Amino acid sequence: MRKYLGLLAMGGVLAFSACTDDDNPAIADREAPVIAFAEGRDGFRPANNEVRLATTDHMHIRFSVTDESGIGQVLVDIHNSFDGHTHARMSNSFEPLNVKDIYSADAANFAFRFPQGAKRLNVDNTATDIYWEGPTSRVQGNVLAGPYDIIISAVDIHGNQTSFADGSNYLATFFIERAYAPQVAVSNLKNGEIDAEAGELLDVRGSIAKGTHSLSSDIRFVWIRLAEEHEHNHNHSAMARVADEVFAERIWGSSAWRQGMSGATLPNTTDLRFEDLLTGSNAITVPAGEDHLDLIVWVEDVAGNVTQKTYTVHID
């Protein structure tokens, strides 16, 4: 298969060198492979905005690829999306999950192999699960908590490849939560939502706290937004992630991940209350003309772990 194509993985994008139509006029196939749900399933895994709770140590991968001419290679790329793909220098005790799994007829890992020239690949079994703890962990130490992008892309035997431009790659953001990361909790949810009235101050109760784990570290940055309800983090561009209409934004501390983002000094670095943060000049007035908005809470600790929580705000 390597005589047909070579793999270059850069920034999560597949780029292949392959024979062109000029090299072989007989090639009529100009269609890229199709990435879809696994057989008998009604969604991808991980799904966009899927949260892997602190009690879990792995993630299931679930998708399929089809191509009438034959599949060449498939790349599953996972990398952190904490900051739009620049890299802060963090504690050596933690490292981000970084995966580049290549599925092909001669893949080094037998679990990633499929028959030469296969027209369909179905990925939905425990052999392709991705772990961040235990003997098959993809990290050497402790995984950084926070948001991660997964990109699934594919190329056929003629070099036709999926892309971001036409939406044929699969792209999603999922979240890894850990016990040592900052803890965020809202206590006044009703049916899973924060009730609010247009023109009134947003009432949010609960806490942002340093974890109680031995690896937990102090809080260094808190970023709270009231924004248009949307599938946040589904866009590959860091700028696009914050491009939804933002009705209010409050910042405390200094971000290690998002360059140039800093705000008022944190009242303390171990235990904060929403009631104390969102008061006075930092209070948020609920806008009129909206039914539902998202309250997005992003918290970083000194070690680089990120906890992001999104709460639906129901407006009467």
Identify whether residues 157 and 238 lie together within a single domain.
Answer: no
The pLDDT value given to residue 82: 83
| Residue 99, pLDDT score | 97
Confidence tier at 4 by pLDDT (50, 70, 90): very low
Does one domain contain both 144 and 216?
no
Position 91 scores a pLDDT of 66
Summarised one tens digit per residue, pLDDT across range 160-193 is 999 999 999 999 999 999 999 999 999 999 999 9
Are 141 and 216 found together in one domain? no
Q: Measured between alpha carbons, how far is 163 from 146 in angstroms, rounded to an integer? A: 26
Domain check: are 90 and 191 in the same one?
no
Which residues make beta-bridge pairs with 76?
A: 101, 152
The residue ranking higher by pLDDT, 8 or 76, is 76
**Helix (H) / strand (E) containing 298:** strand 292-301
Same domain? 172 vs 191? no
Name the domain boundary from 176, 196, 225: 176
Residues 268-293, mean pLDDT to the nearest whole number: 97
> Which residues is 272 bridged to in the sheet?
208
| Pair (130, 166) in one structural domain | yes
What are residue 137's phi and psi, to 5 degrees?
A: -60, 145
DSSP 8-state assignment for residue 300: E
252 C-beta neighbours (distance < 10 Å), count = 21
Say whether both 228 and 298 belong to one domain: yes
Does residue 159 share a domain with residue 12? yes
Contact 104, 113 (CB under 8 A): yes
Residues 167 and 301 in one domain: no
CA distance 2 to 18: 9
Q: Please state, in angstroms and rounded to a whole number, the distance separating the CA atoms of residues 311 and 306.
A: 17
As a whole number, mean pLDDT of residues 22-40 equals 79
Tell me the pLDDT band of 27, cut-offs 50, 70 and 90.
low
* Predicted pLDDT at 9: 41
The answer to whether residues 210 and 234 belong to one domain is yes
pLDDT band at 81 (very low <50, low <70, confident <90, very high): confident
Other CB atoms within a 10 A radius of the CB of residue 259 amount to: 11
11 and 77 in contact (C-beta within 8 Å)? no
For the four alpha carbons of 21, 24, 30 and 36, in that order, the dihedral sign comes to: negative
Rounded percentage of the chain residues whose pLDDT exceeds 90? 80
| Residue 229 vs residue 205, higher pLDDT | 205
Number of domains in the chain: 2
Per-residue pLDDT band for 203 (boundaries 50, 70, 90) equals: very high
* pLDDT surpasses 90 at 298: yes
Checking if the pLDDT of 19 tops 50, the result is no
pLDDT band at 5 (very low <50, low <70, confident <90, very high): very low
- Measured CA to CA, the distance from residue 107 to residue 239 in angstroms comes to 35
Tens-place pLDDT, residues 126-142:
999 999 999 999 999 99
In whole angstroms, what is the distance from residue 268 CA to residue 162 CA?
A: 48
What pLDDT shows up at residue 11?
37
Q: Which of 122, 149, 176 delimits the end of a domain?
A: 176
Residue 190: domain span: 183-315
Domain with residue 289: its CATH number is 2.60.40.2550
- Look-up of token digits 């690896």: 215
Query: What is the mean predicted confidence (pLDDT) over 86-91?
Result: 54
Distance CA 147, CA 239 (A): 15
Choose one of 176, 203, 238: the last residue of a domain.
Answer: 176
The pLDDT assigned to 88 comes to 53
Q: How confident is the model at residue 230 (pLDDT cuts 50, 70, 90)?
A: low
The answer on 192 and 168 residing in a single domain is: no
